[in-house]
């Protein structure tokens, strides 16, 4: 189903089972919910921990880099503010308020009936 290592979470799953696997915007939303809310991925049968989830889990604001996200993808989480920012905007916010966790999506890889998406 997926693996995780060194502060990165990678999710891979079978496509085409009616859970958004063939809809790229839905995939980004599913992975974000898994990483922050510990919501199981479709077809997930075992615990698949996201490394350093605690850095995101207790925050009211979740910051994501715009790089790696396709145009038009809108992400949201219940009871949280999800900010999608450019690298420059992330840098400016970090300079103003100090360090904070920001995540970025890797490339969406489709191979036959499987899809893989990394959130680092």
Per-residue H/E/C for 62-85: EEEECCCCCCCCCCCECCEEEEEE
Which residue ranges make up each domain of the chain? Answer: 2-119
Q: Which residues have CB under 8 Å from 96's CB, separation 6+?
A: none
CA-to-CA distance for 79 and 81, rounded, in angstroms?
7
CA-to-CA distance for 51 and 103, rounded, in angstroms?
12
Q: pLDDT digit of tens for each residue in the chain (120 aa)?
A: 332 222 344 444 444 444 455 577 899 999 999 999 999 988 788 888 888 787 777 788 999 999 989 988 999 999 999 999 999 999 998 899 887 788 999 988 888 878 888 998
Q: Of 112, 3, 120, 30, whose CA–CA distance to 68 is shortest?
A: 120
């Amino acid at each position: 189903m997926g693996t995780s290592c060194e502060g990165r979470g990678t999710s891979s799953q079978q496509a085409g089972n009616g859970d958004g696997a063939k809809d790229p915007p839905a995939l980004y939303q599913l992975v974000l919910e898994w990483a922050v809310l510990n919501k199981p991925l479709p077809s997930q049968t075992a615990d698949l921990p996201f490394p350093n989830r605690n850095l995101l889990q207790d925050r009211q604001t979740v910051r994501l880099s715009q790089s790696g996200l396709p145009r038009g993808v809108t992400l949201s989480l219940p009871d949280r503010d999800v900010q999608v920012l450019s690298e420059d905007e992330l840098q400016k916010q970090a300079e103003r308020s100090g360090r904070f966790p920001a995540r970025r999506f890797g490339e969406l890889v489709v191979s036959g009936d499987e899809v893989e998406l990394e959130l680092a």
